[in-house]
Structure 1
Amino acid sequence: MPRFMGFVRMEEGQGNPPQALFDAMDEYIGKEAAAGHFLDGGGLYGTEDAVNFVVKKGEVTRVDGPYAESKEVVGGWAIMQYDSLEEAIAGQQDFAELHRKYWPEVSMVATLRQIPDEPPTPAED
């Protein structure tokens, strides 16, 4: 059964979601988990304590948050499992619709990506 990763990108500093969205998400996730679709997931803290390691030109640099130049951050994630891509897309759209309905002033992107069953093949040198 195909697995997918969903994540939410949003502008940082939009504040906390309203309680109505939390309640709707609890119901939605409970329903999806009972159906075997929602495997794991959750929200993320802001970037104030985030740590990035940037690899560039053979060097590794540590960059601690917050990131003043950052316009979007990943705010949450989920690992899901569906019988088909079409079902996964419908589930991600339902998730986005909850945000539209219960937090209409938010600006966010709900992304869905399929997780491969096998690791990628390394590039040849």
Structure 2
Amino acid sequence: MPRFMGFVRMEEGVGTPPQELFDAMDAYIGEQAAKGVFLDGGGLYGTEDAVNFVVREGEVSRVDGPYAEAKEVVGGWAIMEYPSLEEAVADQREFAELHAKYWPEVTVISTLRQISTGPEAPGA
């Protein structure tokens, strides 16, 4: 079965999500885990302790956070497995709708990407 990575991007420093969103997410993730769809995931701390390694012109340099230029950061991630792309997309929309319902004042981008297992095309 194809596996997917979902992640949530948002502006950094928008505050803590409301408890209602945490509660809704706990219920949603519990249902997805019970169905065998949700494999692993979690939230991420801010970029204040982040470390980037930048490769430029064959040289590697380390850049520590926080990053003043970062306007949007990944705030959470999930690894999921679905029988089809259509089911993955439908559930990712449902996930995004939880954010719209319980934290409408924040702009959130909920992204779904298929995980590559080799040179084959997505959806294979």
Q: TM-score range by the shorter chain?
A: over 0.9
Q: Stretches of 4+ moved more than 3 A in 1?
A: none
- The alignment's TM-score, normalised by the length of structure 1, stands at 0.93
User: Are 1:92 and 2:92 matched, yes or no?
Assistant: yes
Question: Who is 1:10 aligned against?
Answer: 10
- For the residues of structure 2 that align with 1:19 and 1:9, how far apart are their CA atoms? 19
Paired residue type of 2:112: L
User: Are 1:24 and 2:21 matched, yes or no?
Assistant: no
| Residue ranges of structure 1 left out of the alignment (5+ in a row) | none
- For the residues of structure 2 that align with 1:41 and 1:105, how far apart are their CA atoms? 24
- Deviation string 1:38-63 (CA, Å, 9 cap, x unpaired) is 00000000000000000011111110
- For the residues of structure 1 that align with 2:70 and 2:12, how far apart are their CA atoms? 8
Across the aligned residues of Structure 1 and Structure 2, the Cα RMSD in angstroms comes to 1.0
- Deviation string 1:55-89 (CA, Å, 9 cap, x unpaired) is 01111111000000111111000000011000000
Task: Give the Å deviation of 1:116.
Answer: 1.9
How many residues are paired up?
Answer: 120
Question: Who is 2:36 aligned against?
Answer: 36
| 1:39-54 to 2 correspondences below 5 Å | 39-54=39-54
Paired residue type of 1:10: M
| Residue ranges of structure 2 left out of the alignment (5+ in a row) | none
User: Are 1:74 and 2:81 matched, yes or no?
Assistant: no
- The alignment's TM-score, normalised by the length of structure 2, stands at 0.94
